Amino acid sequence: MNNKSSLYIITILLFVQYIVVTVIMMLFYDVGNRYAPEVTHYVLDQNYLSDLGRSVGYAGSPNPSYIFYSLTLGLIGIGIFLFFIEVQKHMHNKAKYIILLLALVSAIGYIGIVLYPADVDLRTHIIYAQTAFFSFFITTLTSQIFLDRKRFKQSNLFFTVLNLMLFFYLILLFFGPPSSVGVWVLQIKTIAQKVMVYSQIILCILILNNIKEKSK
């Protein structure tokens, strides 16, 4: 097995493990949410993904399983960096170095979310989350511009969908009302986050697969 195939498989596994681990954690989550701290199950439209990484629940009970979310999120940060390493291989200009730098910033952002859970340092947590998502958006946008559009038509389509989703989510993240306004805001933001994150992972897998197929 050559290095390229190894990198492809590792990146795919890093993406898939996040989906699998977070879904399993949702099934066993029992430490409430902002508007219902006493609830003993995960509420899709009231719990953020980052709630899985809370070391202490909303009602004050410990959440020892947070370590699994910390691990899976750290791995997804590495996966994103490896993804862009593969993407930049198909560019023949200096933009590839900018892409790698931006991808590194995004990866650090995801790892920063792990280091500063929302229940430990909310302000720093938000800063790292915004850094991760915004730098990822700029990186995907730059990648789409400099990737060979004629050769990777399908990837270009996936990048377009991904960039549009990221753009609208960033508008909501930076300019939308805070969750403290009411439960309806929390519902919109938590659903939007899940749609964006899981779609982002799936689209990255499709892009990676398309690039690999075209490179044969």
Query: What pLDDT is stored for residue 120 in this prediction?
Result: 87
Give the SS3 label for residue 120: coil
* DSSP-assigned beta bridge partners for residue 62: 56
Query: What pLDDT is stored for residue 1 in this prediction?
Result: 42
pLDDT digits (tens, 9 = 90+) for 93-137: 778 889 999 999 999 999 999 888 888 888 999 999 999 999 999
Query: What pLDDT is stored for residue 3 in this prediction?
Result: 47
Inter-CA distances, 136 with 6, 101, 131, 213, Å: 23, 11, 8, 24
Task: Summarize the confidence of residues 13-19 as an average pLDDT.
Answer: 96
C-alpha 162, offset from chain centre: 12
Count of C-beta atoms within a 10 Å radius of residue 19: 16
Share above pLDDT 90 across residues of the chain, in percent, rounded to a whole number:
71
pLDDT digits (tens, 9 = 90+) for 50-98: 999 999 999 888 999 999 999 999 999 999 999 999 998 888 777 888 9
Whose structure tokens read 């947070």?
66
Residues near 41 by Cβ (< 8 Å), separated by ≥ 6? Answer: 29, 30
Query: What pLDDT is stored for residue 216 in this prediction?
Result: 63
Break the chain into its structural domains and give their ranges: 3-214
